[in-house]
Amino acid sequence: MGLYHGYTVTWGNEAGKKTVLSALVDYPGWKSWLRHQAPLLMELARLLESMLATLDCITVVNEAQAKFFVDTVRFPAEKLAVVPNVVEDIFFEKVDATSGAAFGAENYVLCVGNVCQRKKQLSLSAACRKPGVPLLLVGKVLPGEEEYEKSVAEALFTCHNSRWIHWLSPGSRELASAYRDARVFALLSRTEQQPISALEAAAMRKPLVLADRPWAKQEFYEHAVLADSRSTDAIAGALRKALDKPDSYCPPASVLQQCRKEKVGAAYWQSINDWSRERDEEKGTV
């Protein structure tokens, strides 16, 4: 959150505008607490604290991030709203499956997202070789990750029937079909907020294998198999679990309904109106 945003909120408040901020923040823990405490002596931090006091509402993507705001930032719980990321309707619909030949792989583990060291695709590729299951990667390489790109490409070349598709349009029928044909969805990233690719896979009723990290421990990924992303053996073991009993590792369908566009839009509208009404009542303007 930069200096410009702090001034923008302050100016909006002074002009009598309702202010709602959507924030992506740390998960609770001693490291996040230190990161928050260290800058408090700086002028920027004082400005941001003043800005937070003027906000009508902050929206976060899950309950864990709401806890961070309440416990670490000391932001009032009554001014927080949990609004998850949007999942396009196509991922909730019945999609005609594309034959495996269309992607050059069949009965595969799917991983969707930017290819970079943080997301551990190289470790996932090595883990897939242990149970002998193909891997389908969908995603572009992040700038500065060219050496990692070479390593991933070489690893996939030695993994039978594994493929790498560098681009499928978000929300497209092709991407939905890639999910539909997958046996398992895996994302072993060390750091995430609320990855939409895992939400999409969950909406399509695919078992999830995720990194055993704070970002994966939210209701939208409930029942996912969690693995130590530093260990190829641990990832392979998690994949075997999901492959053997796929129905056991799918998040509840009812929870994912919160990610539909109309639900998310309604949640934003509700949060804006609720907190704006409270502020008006406090100021005696209603």
- Looking at residues 168-180, what average pLDDT do you find? 94
Please say if the pLDDT value at position 109 is more than 60: yes
Look at 94 and 148; give whichever has higher pLDDT: 148
The domain ranges of the chain are 3-86+260-283, 89-258
Q: What is the average pLDDT score of the chain?
A: 84
pLDDT of residue 104: 77
Q: What is the mean pLDDT of residues 41-54?
A: 58
Q: Cα dist. 40→6, 44, 47, 50, 71 in Å?
A: 15, 8, 10, 12, 16
CATH architecture of 89-258: 3-Layer(aba) Sandwich (3.40)
Query: Can you give the pTM of this predicted structure?
Result: 0.83
- Could you tell me what percent of the chain has a pLDDT over 70? 76
List phi, psi (to 5°) of 210.
-125, 160
Q: Lowest mean pLDDT of 102-111, 147-156, 173-182, 204-213, name the range.
A: 102-111
**Which of 34-43, 76-85, 88-97, 126-135 has the least mean pLDDT?**
34-43
Question: How far apart, in Å, are the Cα atoms of 133 and each of 126, 182, 189, 230?
Answer: 10, 11, 20, 20
Tens digit of each residue's pLDDT (9 = 90 or more) over 218-270? 999 999 999 999 999 999 999 999 999 999 999 999 999 999 999 999 988 88
- Mean pLDDT on 101-113: 86
Average pLDDT over residues 161-169: 93
